[in-house]
Each structure stands twice: as structure tokens, then as C-alpha cells.
Amino acid sequence: MAGTMRSRVIRRLEGYWKMEAGNVVFVPAVGAFLVLRFEDQLSWPVAVSMAACAAFLLIGAVAWRMELAALKGDRGFEAAALPWLARAQPPGAGLLIASVVGAVYEFGRDGRWTPSSIAASALAGLAVLEYVNYFHVQLQHFDHPADFQRLLRGRGFREAHLARALRKRRETTAGRGRRSGPNVRA
């Protein structure tokens, strides 16, 4: 990657991870504020959706920070973060499912949109989008012209950066597992 292009990407990623990290607190806090302002109660579905949203925003912040460190030539952060991110995916998916079930329950309880059902649904929806965006395909194409043009040209969505890193890690780990280990004879 050319020096000028690399420095532009580094500047952009500096902002990404910081924005995601700030949103870990900001987005759930706005949801809580609005529910409390208009309803005076935070239900368990709202709390679960807040937790799921915060969890995936945190995962996003760590993932972008990992990409930034790698661009700067520091693979140590990736070595520390990638195993944590891999372990976070299954419980995160469980929390995600709980948030969606909670949002459906919250709406079904009254059969109408209330501040709690809106907040639970919006936060669960954002958590679903963040999960897909980091663990599967890159959904975010609006903030970088090259990505947006790629999407408009019909080339579709591409594998998320974190998904690619986790896939490579699994392949490397699986390859090592076949060749060595406590039960393998030389």
C-alpha cells in the first residue's frame, strides 16, 4: 500500500475504533434516556438489547483497533485481541438471540409500539447489524467511496475484515492441530 494511501487509511481507522468505543456507552445511554424520559421504566428486554448493542460495539472497537495496529506494523495487538474476539462470538450470538426474543416479547406484551418496545427493537436491530458487519459480511459501505462504488457496481458485499481474520486463524489453528498435540505420535 502506498505511503499516502496507507496514511489516509490509518487516519480513517483512528476515527473508526474511537467512534465505536464511544458508542459502547453513548448508544445504550441514549436508548435508556429516551425510555426513561417517555415511560419511566427500563424493562428487561431493553436492558438485554442495550447489553447486546454495547457488546457488539465493543467488539467493533477492538476489531478496528486491531486493523489499525496491523497497518502500523504491530501484530502484537492482533495476537492478543483475535483469540478474545473468537471466544466472544458464541456468547455474543446468544446475547443477540436473547435481545431479539426480548424485543419481540416487549412488543407482544402490549401489542403496540411503546418507548420500551421501540428501544428494545432499535437496539436489538443495531446489534444484529453490528454482528453481521463484523462476523460475516461488511455492511458498512457508505463511509468510504471505494467501498460504496464497489457496491453500486453490483459487486455485492465482501467478507468482513474480522470474519476474514478469524477464518485465517481457524485454518492456521486447524492445520497445527493435525500435525502436533499431546496425543499425536511422531
**What does the domain layout of the chain look like in residue ranges?**
3-135
User: Helix 76-110 and helix 115-135: axis angle, to 10°?
Assistant: 150
CA distance 127 to 66: 20
Q: What is the pLDDT of residues 85-122, one digit of tens each?
A: 999 999 999 999 999 999 999 999 988 899 999 999 99
Q: CA torsion 114→115→118→123, rounded to 10°?
A: -150
- Decide if 106 contacts 45 (C-beta within 8 A): yes
pTM of the entire structure? Answer: 0.82
pLDDT for 181 equals: 42
- Decide if 103 contacts 122 (C-beta within 8 A): no
pLDDT for 37 equals: 95
pLDDT for 161 equals: 87
Stretches where the chain sits below pLDDT 70 are 1-3, 140-156, 177-186
pLDDT for 133 equals: 92
